[in-house]
């Protein structure tokens, strides 16, 4: 069985600036949960800067914030950060952070549809290169 909770809030700070907030809790229940059913942290929607599945376990808790500035009807920029963790009774995991920025091109003003170009950084673990990623996607991450 799965439980998914996704909370979102959008706070207009100015007629062109919005603070977007998201919190997610995802859990998989059961005594023997196959590895392929574990919850995955990372990807282009939550915790950008980590590849999807970089961290996996039975549960995940994550949050992200974006500051969106639409400086032209067709263009905007965004700065974002995230914090998340995967965990279970057997494994407690530490929180990891991500941050980045991006450009938005609104190709349909009628539907407010956009293409997003994001670049994000994750952590740098000892002996490893800093994790990062470029994301090209349709619509906002949330």
The pLDDT score that the predictor gives to residue 89 is 87
The pLDDT score that the predictor gives to residue 93 is 79
Structure tokens at 58: 């039975």
Q: Based on the structure, what is the number of domains in the chain?
A: 1
Please give the average per-residue pLDDT across 20-37, as a whole number: 93
Residue with tokens 């009807």: 73
Q: CA 49 → CA 6, 8, 68, 99, 131, distances in Å?
A: 20, 21, 18, 7, 6
- Residues 29-72 have pLDDT tens digits of 988 899 999 999 999 999 999 999 999 999 999 999 999 999 99
Contacts of 74 (CB under 8 A, 6+ apart): 105, 106, 107, 109
Domain span holding position 90: 2-138
What pLDDT band is residue 78 in, cutting at 50, 70 and 90?
Answer: very high
Measure the CA–CA gap between 39 and 85, rounded to whole angstroms: 10
Under 8 Å between Cβ of 115 and 98: no
For residue 63, the domain's CATH number is 2.40.160.50
The pLDDT score that the predictor gives to residue 75 is 99
Q: Is the pLDDT of residue 79 over 90?
A: yes
């Amino acid at each position: 069985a799965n439980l998914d909770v996704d909370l979102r809030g959008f706070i207009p700070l100015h007629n062109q600036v919005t603070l977007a907030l998201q919190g997610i809790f995802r859990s998989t229940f059961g005594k023997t949960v196959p590895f392929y059913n574990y919850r995955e942290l990372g990807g282009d929607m939550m915790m950008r800067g980590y590849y999807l599945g970089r961290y996996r376990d039975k549960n995940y808790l994550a949050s992200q914030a974006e500051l969106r500035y639409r400086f032209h009807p067709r263009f905007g920029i965004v700065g974002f950060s995230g914090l998340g963790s995967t965990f279970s009774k057997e494994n407690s995991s530490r929180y990891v952070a991500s941050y980045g920025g991006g450009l938005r091109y609104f190709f349909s003003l009628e539907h407010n549809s956009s293409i997003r170009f994001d670049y994000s950084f994750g952590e740098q673990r000892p002996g490893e290169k800093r994790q990062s990623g470029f994301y090209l996607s349709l619509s906002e991450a949330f």
